[in-house]
Amino acid sequence: PFPDRRNPKKGEPATIGGFYTQEDMKEIIRYAAERQVEIIPEIDVPAHSNAALASYPEFACPVVKDFIGVLPGLGAKNAEIIFCAGNEGTFDFLQNVLDEVIALFPSRYINLGGDEARKTNWEKCPLCQSRIHKEHLENEEELQGYFMARLSDYVRSKGKEVMGWDELTNSKLPEESIILGWQGYGNAALKAAAQGHRFIMTPARVAYLIRYQGPQWFEPITYFGNNTLKGLFDYEPVQKDWKPEYEPLLMGVQACMWTEFCNTPEDVFYLTFPRLGALAEIAWVSKGTKNWNSFLKGLDNYNAHLACKGIRYAHSMFNIQHTITTETTGKLKVKLECERPDVEIRYTTDGTEPTATSTLYEKELIIEKDTDIKAATFSQNKQMGELLVLPIHWNKATSKPFIHADAGMDILVNGLRGSLKYTDFEWYTGQLSKPISFTIDLQKPESMKQFTVGCITNYGMGVHKPRSLKVEVSNDNVVFTEIGKLTFTDKEIFKEGNFIENLSIETDETTGQFVKFTLESAGNCPDDHVRPEQPSKIYIDEVIIE
């Protein structure tokens, strides 16, 4: 799995798979063309190029002394290894690559990338600095503008058009370039539109298929965040606040299916289908005529067609997303949602599995004691989605209020533990750099022997336990007495793997009404980490006071 993958060290085999020969590529291009699909190659520069630089380290800045591995796209220090913009050899090399690519691909466009280039080495590199000086550039950002423009001019001289990601708007845009708006909601592309450039919307927050497409408890592990079928369907690429001149420059929408988390073609199909249907809908239906219910009817036929062809597709749209929040002190509110309005949610609270005749979920459930909720969706007496099991357990902190509550803190006292997916909406995360402090008001003096908070480690994503946990108790929310503190070493914090831990502090019988706990960040991931120099992230789930 991607989060466990390490950069190979010098001498270790670097790749698992292989490469496409020109003959393979011609076959793929032909296969696609027979189906009216044009393949547009992306040769991403100056970053996302570790695979090339692992083989041709002479085209990285000479200040890069370390061995260059092939693991791309992990940010921070990993993203610093980019092509040297001061070395003429870099341009000769890339022009040779482009010659080959241009000869091979009949497409009208070539994507030159330009995303996520961290310029730390350019700042230190004498060749890059000399280029900045010679070309009268302001800074490293403008150096990227120079780099992109130079290769763009080359591609254009061969009769092709150039595309690139929205980072190109950070400096002077290459002439006539087409910009892909991807960061957040993709709005950086509008800076290009304002300069008369054509653009494409591919917002990561909506249209990146690498993200989860449904309730995460049922999904195979992938990146973070949810981009559901309905979320993509609801996306309106032409935004209300656009200037009228932008719309004619919008060439279309794109969904990005990055495959870091995919290990087989079936994994790619799973993330692609049926969301590709929603992308087609937003791209092709006339404005104002989109309809979720009629789309779903069409989609069911489309999915039957996929099934017939043996193409794996996700049934995530039939699964239930739960949200458990504090109703009033002592009570919890359980909300169950399914993005398909044409299914019924049925549930039990007696431990049995729900059937088509179990209680129909009509509105939020209010509970005030330990409850096991089991729910599933049904249509025409048939179970449609996965079985959702919510074991809700009370402790002295459950459904109690926080002093200075932030949105989302409820999940710390909602009686439910998080899963191994730290973005499943059962894990709370705070600021990265500052210690985070929480005070729970137990509403009356309570005796306590143990304080526990759950935390999760996901090594590959830089999610780790805190440097320290301190717990204090008070009767008046003014004078606090420390009841215990845990402190961890780097070795204890930066462990590999994906697992949940309970951080527990035992105390002699203590009484208090206010319980304050403070978490200190572990700081940056160490140099031998897969994410060197990136701030580690803390995710905590349930607070358990016993």
CA pair distance 290, 287, nearest whole angstrom: 7
* Direct distance between the N- and C-terminal alpha carbons of the chain, in angstroms, rounded to an integer: 37
Min dist. Cβ of residue 10 to Zn ion (A): 22
Min dist. Cβ of residue 166 to ligand ACM (A): 8
Identify what 125 binds: Zn ion, ligand ACM, none; CB under 5 to 8 Å per kind: Zn ion
CA pair distance 50, 530, nearest whole angstrom: 14
Question: Hey, which residues between 460 and 519 contact ligand ACM (CB under 6 A)?
Answer: none
Identify what 116 binds: ligand ACM, Zn ion, none; CB under 5 to 8 Å per kind: ligand ACM
Closer CB to Zn ion, 127 or 179, in the complex: 127
Q: Ramachandran region of residue 404, left (φ > 0), alpha (ψ -120 to 50) or beta?
A: left
Closer CB to Zn ion, 89 or 497, in the complex: 89
Question: Hey, which residues between 24 and 63 contact ligand ACM (CB under 6 A)?
Answer: none
Identify what 453 binds: ligand ACM, Zn ion, none; CB under 5 to 8 Å per kind: none
Min dist. Cβ of residue 113 to ligand ACM (A): 8
Please say whether the beta carbons of 371 and 322 come within 8 A: no
Question: Hey, which residues between 180 and 209 contact ligand ACM (CB under 6 A)?
Answer: 182
Closest CA to 161 of 197, 116, 115: 197
Closer CB to ligand ACM, 256 or 493, in the complex: 256
CA pair distance 48, 114, nearest whole angstrom: 9
CA pair distance 114, 111, nearest whole angstrom: 9
Min dist. Cβ of residue 33 to Zn ion (A): 39
Closer CB to ligand ACM, 56 or 258, in the complex: 258
Min dist. Cβ of residue 143 to Zn ion (A): 9
Closest CA to 472 of 431, 507, 421: 507
Q: Which residues bind to Zn ion, rule: CB under 5 A? A: 61, 84, 86, 125, 127-128
Min dist. Cβ of residue 9 to Zn ion (A): 24
Give yes or no for residue 116 binding ligand ACM (CB under 6 A): yes
Min dist. Cβ of residue 68 to ligand ACM (A): 19
Identify what 182 binds: Zn ion, ligand ACM, none; CB under 5 to 8 Å per kind: ligand ACM
Under rule CB under 6 A, how many of the chain's residues touch ligand ACM? 4
Closer CB to ligand ACM, 74 or 373, in the complex: 74
Closer CB to ligand ACM, 115 or 386, in the complex: 115
Min dist. Cβ of residue 136 to Zn ion (A): 18
Residue 375 dihedral angles phi and psi, to the nearest 5°: -140, 155
CA pair distance 212, 276, nearest whole angstrom: 14
Closer CB to Zn ion, 84 or 413, in the complex: 84
Closer CB to Zn ion, 141 or 327, in the complex: 141
Please say whether the beta carbons of 171 and 141 come within 8 A: yes
C-beta nearest to ligand ACM: residue = 115
Give yes or no for residue 218 binding ligand ACM (CB under 6 A): no
Query: Which residues does 528 contact at the CB level (< 8 Å), separation at least 6?
Result: none
Q: Measured between alpha carbons, how far is residue 31 from residues 25, 232, 432 in Å? A: 10, 28, 48
Give yes or no for residue 83 binding ligand ACM (CB under 6 A): no
Min dist. Cβ of residue 291 to ligand ACM (A): 31
Min dist. Cβ of residue 72 to ligand ACM (A): 10
Quickly list DSSP for 133-201.
HHTT-SSHHHHHHHHHHHHHHHHHHTT-EEEEEGGGGGSPPPTT-EEEE-STTSTTHHHHHHTT--EEE
Closer CB to ligand ACM, 182 or 233, in the complex: 182
Residue 227, SS3 per DSSP = coil
Identify what 295 binds: ligand ACM, Zn ion, none; CB under 5 to 8 Å per kind: none
Q: Which of 2, 122, 147, 165: binder of ligand ACM (CB under 6 A)?
A: 165
Please say whether the beta carbons of 197 and 249 come within 8 A: yes
Closer CB to ligand ACM, 203 or 215, in the complex: 203
Min dist. Cβ of residue 204 to ligand ACM (A): 6
CA pair distance 400, 330, nearest whole angstrom: 7
Q: Which of 80, 115, 520, 542: binder of ligand ACM (CB under 6 A)?
A: 115
Identify what 165 binds: ligand ACM, Zn ion, none; CB under 5 to 8 Å per kind: ligand ACM
Closer CB to ligand ACM, 251 or 306, in the complex: 251
CA pair distance 339, 274, nearest whole angstrom: 14
What secondary structure letter does DSSP report for 396? T
Query: Which residues does 386 contact at the CB level (< 8 Å), separation at least 6?
Result: 218, 318, 319, 320, 376
Residue 91 dihedral angles phi and psi, to the nearest 5°: -70, -40
Q: Ramachandran region of residue 408, left (φ > 0), alpha (ψ -120 to 50) or beta?
A: left
- Tokens of residue 30, six digits: 């032909």
Min dist. Cβ of residue 57 to Zn ion (A): 12
Residues near ligand ACM (CB under 6 A): 115-116, 165, 182
